[in-house]
Structure 1
Amino acid sequence: MPAQGQYATYPSLFGRIVVISGGATGIGASMVEAFATQGAKVVILDILSEAASELIQKLRDRNVVHPPVYHQCDVTKIDDELKPVAAKILESSPSIDVLVNNAANDVRQPTLEVTQEQWDQGIAVNLRHVFFLTQALMPGLLTGGSASVINMGSISWEVAVPSLITYVSSKSGIVGLTKALAEEFGPKGIRVNSIMPGAIATEKQKREIYTPEIEADILKGQAVKRMLQPDDVARMALWLAADDSSAVTSQSIRVDAGWI
């Protein structure tokens, strides 16, 4: 593992407007911290107001140049919440540099017990909002002429994780959506990529899923034998957002320690 402090700084991210959905906890919170530390102006969309407030205070205490701004938003409520919040963001920031579509929920359910309502909710929280938030913020993304959209995928659809049928189906859809958006908006200066994390040790996963046995199985399946952390994903998001990756689009990049 690299030593502390051996990670890149991206001058091109300083002062850029970065919108992150699901930014209050987990991988999203790590991305908020990473972008804010780079001097970006981060906008958080999340349903968890208390967690968002705690994160913002943490970053204020660290004296980041631009403390994040928070909008409470249930991204599954497209017309009632997502679109109005997007309009507020564009009103205060007419030009958007980076959009990270991160909000998701990997609810586990036996496949034969999934109801239509559960299926629809799974698609809504893991896929549908990715399109509609991108659509709603596209006027701002187009304004600057060189924006980056980063969609959060998952390796789960490639390794066929049991009891995650709606999540897996949604995350496979992220790949197609990413390519379609990249093709359509590339000529207008918009890059669109996705990140496909492997097994990431978020607080939720450690609290609800991971046991010593499961962690041993994860390490057995990885070429690099260490547990992956949210910061590992956040660092990839930084690179995809920065000018350093200006020639990269339409890609789905695995951050999985070489899942075998």
Structure 2
Amino acid sequence: MSFAIYPSLKDVVVTVTGGASGIGAEIVRAFAAQGSRVGFVDLDVTTGQALAEDLSQKGATVAFEACDLRDIAALRQAFAGLKATLGPAGVLVNNAARDDRHGWETVEPEYYDERIATNLRHMFFATQAVAPDMIAARKGSIINMGSNSWWEAGGGMPVYTSAKAAVHGMTRSFARDLGPHRIRVNTVVPGWVMTERQKTLWANPEALERQKVRQCLPELIEPVYLARMVLFLASDDAAMCTANNYMVEAGSI
């Protein structure tokens, strides 16, 4: 396939959470290919460093900060480090999440709080960290990763789906509060994306066949397609797009 180049993304500073692997790594690569200055954070130090080194060797401007996003003080420190290296962010991609399966019967308050910290809370504080510089610049794009799991009334991970449903409310509220400063806030809604984690843990032949039947399009969704939607929403081409959901789920029902 031939994909678009967005001139407005060249030299723009982009911050991506959970950027070491999966969808996040594809987003980091996609922005690097656009000539953006890309900073990303992740808990996985080895994989994060390897990705940053690989892209840097290819001529991209990339910086990595190791960070457990459940620790808000560490998040703030990591974001400050990226800003010191690359400059203030013009784009934030709140990608980090983990869709661990769990039954509602066994959830304890400690696990519930940890799941919310993993899948929702850091998005708020990441937005808080970059918004002042975007306000000063009178421009910015914040892209939150949602999920179609709750749209489809998916079961087997109720705290995860609760967190992802909340992402949409957070997106719309921030879009209202930051809109007067010309900052756009949107949600990208993935279907079942074939990351290595999904392939290893849950994408058995029977599950894949069921998924193909549920989708309007027959091909399985690869991470690159999520990255392409993120690029569009970050670019000036999406200048009038805010407070909305952008589905990348192959028409899944």
Tell me how large the CA RMSD over aligned residues is.
1.2
Do the aligned residues in 2 keep the contact of 1:96 with 1:143 (CA within 8 Å)? no
**Partner residue, 1:27:** 23
**Normalising to structure 2: TM-score of the pair?**
0.97
Per-residue CA distance 1:181-226 (angstroms, 9 max, x = gap): 0001100110000101000000000011110100001101000010
| Residue 77, structure 1, aligned to residue 71, structure 2 | yes
Equivalent of 2:92 in 72, 87, 99: 99
Please, which runs of 5 or more residues in structure 2 have no aligned partner?
none
Do the aligned residues in 2 keep the contact of 1:36 with 1:64 (CA within 8 Å)? no
**Partner residue, 1:208:** 201
**Partner residue, 1:235:** 228
| Residue 124, structure 1, aligned to residue 120, structure 2 | no
**Partner residue, 2:32:** 36
The farther-off stretch of 180-189 and 137-146 is 137-146
The letter for the 2-side match of 1:69 is A
Equivalent of 1:46 in 42, 47, 50: 42
Per-residue CA distance 1:226-249 (angstroms, 9 max, x = gap): 000000100000000000000100
CA distance in 2, matches of 1:72, 1:11: 30
1:162 Cα shift? 1.4
Q: Following superposition of structure 1 onto structure 2, how do residues 159-238 of structure 1 map, counting pairs within 5 Å?
A: 159-238=152-231
1:154 Cα shift? 0.4
1:94 Cα shift? 4.7
Do the aligned residues in 1 keep the contact of 2:20 with 2:47 (CA within 8 Å)? yes
Per-residue CA distance 1:111-168 (angstroms, 9 max, x = gap): 1111111111110010000001111221222222110000000001111221111110
Per-residue CA distance 1:9-35 (angstroms, 9 max, x = gap): 001101000000000000000000000
Equivalent of 2:54 in 49, 58, 79: 58
The letter for the 1-side match of 2:125 is F
CA distance in 2, matches of 1:12, 1:64: 19
CA distance in 2, matches of 1:214, 1:82: 36
**Aligned-partner SS, 2:31:** helix
Do the aligned residues in 2 keep the contact of 1:47 with 1:74 (CA within 8 Å)? yes
Distance 1:41 1:93, change over 3 A: closer
